[in-house]
Amino acid sequence: MKQSACGDVVPGCDATLVCSPEEEIMALVPSPAAADHGRTEIPTELVDRVVGHIPRVG
């Protein structure tokens, strides 16, 4: 399992995505990025930050 805590990248956000594999998390990132943070595009820099904060779970 993999998880991504939005607060690791966007301070103050408590959203957490838990999936397996990592690609599933990355497929889900645009939805909360748009709904919670007003992002319509996900720049490579942000993708790299999200991936860098995905720890292994279980």
Domain boundaries, the chain: 2-52
Q: Output the pLDDT for position 19.
A: 80
Q: Output the pLDDT for position 17.
A: 85
Q: What is the pTM of this model?
A: 0.55
| Helix (H/G/I), strand (E/B), else coil: 4 | strand
Q: Output the pLDDT for position 1.
A: 78
- In angstroms, the CA 26 to CA 12 distance is 20
Q: Output the pLDDT for position 56.
A: 66
Exposure pattern of 35-47 as b/e (b: 16+ CB <10 Å)? eeeeeeeeeeebe
Q: Give ∠ CA 34-50-35 in degrees, rounded to 5.
A: 10
Instruction: Please write the tens of the pLDDT for every residue from 1-58.
Output: 788 898 999 999 999 988 877 778 788 888 888 999 998 888 889 888 888 887 766 5
